[in-house]
């Protein structure tokens, strides 16, 4: 099930040689064709010839999301728009969208890395891939599409939303692989159960889930309810889209396709490069992109890298499941809180579903955290004291996990918003 054995099982020295060669080329190309990079490198007193070893990458200044935004729309392109054959953008949820331009060769690379990713979910030309990532400017839909077709899978470009249609297609087309956000997978499982769709009508065997943060507890839940292997895919529009990294069936970290994307981990405050295995912010450099090379992009995603061969046989470096995002990160009374921690706490209670919303407020100059959780039949009782006990036990679990007292409010089932894309988990009402 290894799509490109030569690339995916390359020895370390061979890979480092390839990475260095590609890094030198991409830095030179960026310097010569993108005024932004020429300026940044000149300001830092670095010339492309200074890249003599992989470690020399640390001389290059970081690229941030706001740098890309300032270059809106086409300021980061290293080729003429004549050679750009496709454009994608981010959703722009945190400001103006950032634009990514692809040449024909970039699309080839994209298809290749996603083909490697889907192959980790054991996709072959016999499989029917129900692709519920949104098609359009969002990279999710077309990225998976190109990868699936490269393998020769039957790709159903159903896109996001329209749950009834999704359920019909699962049953009628006998989809074997599903690709969507993990929260949408949970929602689909809920609808399949509610509508009592017979298990034998569902042929799904694997799911490739990404575009938002999730937890091991959620994986167990999805695997149990949808009866699939649930694998984590990672990517970002600024770099290419989905297909930067993907979990294999070992489910012990995501393989970064490091012959195309060079990863580093830095301390988000000091920006120092951290040693292997330490947790910090992931920084990525595109090694092969033509249309829009990106050097040392700060992803804001918190993870750690682990080298060495995986039991699956691949030598691609692995990154841990993302445990936080500096943007999503909440600071409550000085304590760092990630929504994923609250989710983990909630899922430790039997019968709880991961439908929750976090509301931060500052009523009397002091931060307060409210967690709204949907009630389920398993938790409910005719006695006030039992319901109170459940509520208090959720509060205790969250307290144990994050070290802060929170107020848990029980709400009615299906009353919290279910987004069909990224789930809205945090509402910050504080005014700073």
Partner 1 sequence: MNGFLIRGCGNMKLKQISVFLENRKGRLWKAMNVLSNAGVNIRALSIADTSEFGILRMIVPDPDMAKGILEENNFVVKVNEVIAVEVMDEPGGLDELLGVLNQADINVEYLYAFVEKKTDKAIVVIRTEDLDAGIETLEKGGISILKADDVNLL
Residues 223, 228, 229, 230, CA torsion sign: negative
Nearer to partner 1, 1 or 378 (CB): 378
Nearest residue to 338 via CA among 362, 363, 321:
321
CA distance 289 to 287: 6
Q: Measured from the CB of residue 395, what is the shortest distance to partner 1 in angstroms?
A: 11
With respect to partner 1, which residue has the nearer C-beta, 94 or 381? 381
Instruction: Report in angstroms how near the CB of residue 172 gets to partner 1 at its nearest.
Output: 25
Question: What residues numbered 413-432 form the site for partner 1, per CB under 8 A?
Answer: 413-415
Across 22-153, where does the E strand assignment appear?
A: 86-89, 99-102, 128-131
Cβ of residue 194: shortest distance to partner 1, in angstroms?
10
Q: Count other Cβ atoms within 10 Å, centred on residue 235.
A: 27
User: Does 47 contact partner 1 by CB under 8 A?
Assistant: no
Q: Which is nearer to partner 1, 205 or 391 (CB)?
A: 391
H helix runs in 44-138, sequence order: 65-70, 104-120
Query: Measured between alpha carbons, how far is 235 from 419 in angstroms, rounded to an integer?
Result: 20
Would you count residue 323 as binding partner 1 (CB under 8 A)?
no
To partner 1, the closest distance from the beta carbon of 334 in angstroms equals 27
Of 124, 326, 376, 393, which one interacts with partner 1 (CB under 8 A)?
376
Residue 354 Cβ vs partner 1, minimum distance, rounded to whole Å: 17
How far is Cα of residue 360 from the mean position of the Cα atoms in its chain? 24
By C-beta, is 240 or 379 nearer to partner 1?
379
Q: What is the smallest separation between the CB atom of 360 and partner 1, expressed in angstroms?
A: 19
C-alpha to C-alpha distance for 258 and 264, rounded to whole angstroms: 11
> Exactly one of 45, 269, 377, 431 binds partner 1 (CB under 8 A); which one?
377
Question: Does 382 participate in binding partner 1 (rule CB under 8 A)?
Answer: yes
* 363 exposure class (CB count in 10 Å sphere: 0-12, 13-18, 19+): exposed
| CB 300, CB 65: distance < 8 Å | yes
CA 8 to centroid of chain Cα atoms = 21
Least distance from partner 1 to the Cβ atom of residue 5, Å: 51
Q: Please, which of residues 385-414 interact with partner 1 by CB under 8 A?
A: 385, 387-388, 391, 409-414
Count the site residues for partner 1 by CB under 8 A.
20
Per CB under 8 A, the segment of 137-145, 245-253, 256-264, 380-388 that binds partner 1 is 380-388
Q: Which of 166, 345, 375, 423 is in the footprint of partner 1 by CB under 8 A?
A: 375
Answer yes or no whether residue 163 interacts with partner 1 by CB under 8 A.
no
Q: If DSSP codes are grouped into helix, strand and coil, which group holds residue 280?
A: strand
**Complex with partner 1: residue 177 or 408, whichever CB lies closer:** 408
CA-CA-CA-CA torsion sign (340, 343, 347, 348): positive
Q: Which is nearer to partner 1, 39 or 415 (CB)?
A: 415
* Choice between 85 and 410, CB closer to partner 1: 410
State the DSSP code for 135: P
Asked if 174 and 203 touch (Cβ cutoff 8 Å), the reply is yes
Residue 89 vs 372, nearer CB to partner 1: 372
CA 206 to chain centre: 17
Interaction between residue 380 and partner 1 (CB under 8 A): yes
Give the footprint of partner 1 on this chain (CB under 8 A).
375-377, 379-385, 387-388, 391, 409-415
């Amino acid at each position: 099930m290894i799509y490109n054995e030569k690339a995916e099982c390359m020895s370390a020295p061979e890979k480092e040689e390839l990475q260095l060669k590609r890094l030198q080329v991409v830095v030179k190309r960026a310097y010569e064709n993108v005024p932004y990079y020429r300026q940044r490198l000149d300001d830092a007193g670095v010339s492309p010839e200074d890249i003599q070893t992989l470690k020399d990458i640390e001389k290059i200044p970081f690229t941030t999301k706001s740098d890309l935004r300032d270059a809106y729309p086409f300021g980061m392109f290293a080729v003429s728009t004549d050679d750009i054959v496709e454009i994608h953008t981010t959703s722009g949820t945190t400001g103006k969208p950032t634009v990514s331009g692809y040449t024909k060769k970039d699309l080839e690379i994209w298809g290749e890395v996603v083909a490697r990713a889907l192959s980790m979910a054991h996709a072959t030309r016999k499989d029917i891939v129900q692709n519920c990532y949104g098609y359009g400017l969002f990279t999710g839909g077309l990225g998976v599409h190109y990868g699936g077709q490269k393998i020769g899978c039957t790709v159903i470009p159903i896109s996001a939303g329209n749950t009834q249609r999704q359920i019909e297609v699962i049953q009628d087309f006998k989809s074997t692989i599903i690709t969507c956000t993990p929260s949408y997978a949970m929602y689909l499982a809920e609808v399949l159960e509610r509508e009592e769709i017979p298990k034998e009508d569902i042929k799904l065997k694997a799911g490739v889930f990404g575009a938002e943060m999730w937890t091991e507890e959620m994986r167990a839940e999805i695997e149990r309810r949808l009866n699939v292997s649930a694998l984590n895919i990672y990517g970002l529009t600024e770099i290419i889209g989905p297909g930067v990294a993907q979990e294999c069936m070992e489910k012990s970290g995501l393989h970064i396709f490091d012959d195309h994307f060079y990863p580093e981990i830095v301390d988000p405050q000091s920006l120092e490069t951290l040693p292997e295995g330490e947790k910090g912010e992931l920084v990525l450099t595109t090694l092969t992109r033509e249309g829009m090379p990106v050097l040392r992009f700060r992803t804001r995603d918190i993870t750690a890298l682990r080298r060495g061969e995986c039991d699956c046989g691949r030598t691609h470096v692995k990154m841990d499941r993302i445990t936080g995002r500096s943007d999503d990160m909440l600071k409550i009374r000085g304590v760092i809180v990630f929504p994923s921690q609250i989710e983990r706490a909630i899922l430790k209670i039997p019968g709880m579903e991961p439908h929750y919303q976090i509301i931060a407020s500052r009523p009397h100059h002091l931060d307060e955290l409210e967690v709204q959780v949907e009630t389920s039949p398993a938790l409910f009782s005719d006695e006030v004291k039992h319901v109170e006990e459940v509520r208090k036990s959720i509060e205790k679990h969250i307290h144990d996990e994050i070290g802060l007292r929170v107020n848990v409010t029980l709400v009615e089932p299906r009353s919290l918003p279910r987004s069909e894309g990224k789930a809205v988990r945090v509402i910050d009402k504080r005014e700073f």
